[in-house]
Amino acid sequence: MRIRAAGGRTGPPGPRRERGSFAVEAAVLVPVILGFALMAVAAGRLQTTGSVVDAAARAGARAASLARTPEGAQQAAADAVRTSLASRSVRCAAEPAGDPQYGTLDTDGGQLATVTVRVSCTVPLSDLLGLDGVPGHKTVTGTFTSVVDRYRGN
């Protein structure tokens, strides 16, 4: 038996009229959920890349602290930074390490010479997301200061 609904329509009674609503809800929600998932992946990859850049700055400062000359420190820092970034497959758009900066640290035992290495790496967002064709880039920076080794020899 058919029941006539208000307005003269006929159709099955009850919840059957909501047929197909799940497909519509899924079509609306799936892109939103995927967007949030991609944003979470990008944030995680950005955090990981920041950690790699920090580690490269540490490696560069330590290598520079062992060098005997400023020129040697610059070369040792650049090599250590490149090696550290390459080992984790981080590609920078430009040369990541600048010149090491020298300074002093006052302690109870006297002044200590320090060297600071700053690494700045501009990474394409397509590398962070793992998707080709994503426009844009993000610059990640890391800085580390190391005490110059007094006993490195002359």
Mean pLDDT of 29-36: 90
Domain positions in the chain are 20-147
- Residues contacting 146, CB < 8 A, separation 6+: 58, 61, 62, 64, 65, 114, 115, 116, 117
Q: Give burial (CB, 10 Å; 0-12/13-18/19+) of 21.
A: exposed
What is the end-to-end Cα distance of the chain in Å, rounded?
103
Which residues lie below 8 Å from residue 141, measured CB to CB, with a gap of 6+? Answer: 53, 118, 119, 120, 121
pTM of the model: 0.73
Asked if pLDDT for residue 5 goes beyond 60, the answer is no
SS3 at position 149: coil
* Among the ranges given (27-31, 105-109, 144-148), the one the predictor scored with the smallest mean pLDDT: 105-109
pLDDT digits (tens, 9 = 90+) for 38-87: 888 888 888 998 999 999 999 999 999 998 888 999 999 999 999 999 99
Q: Are strands 10-11 and 3-4 parallel, antiparallel or unpaired?
A: antiparallel
pLDDT score, position 119 = 94
Assigned token pair, 70: 């400023």
Spatial separation of the C-alpha atoms in residues 94 and 53, rounded to whole Å: 14
Q: How far is it, in rounded angstroms, from Cα 52 to Cα 66? A: 22
List the one residue out of 137, 133, 136, 67 whose CA is nearest residue 102.
67
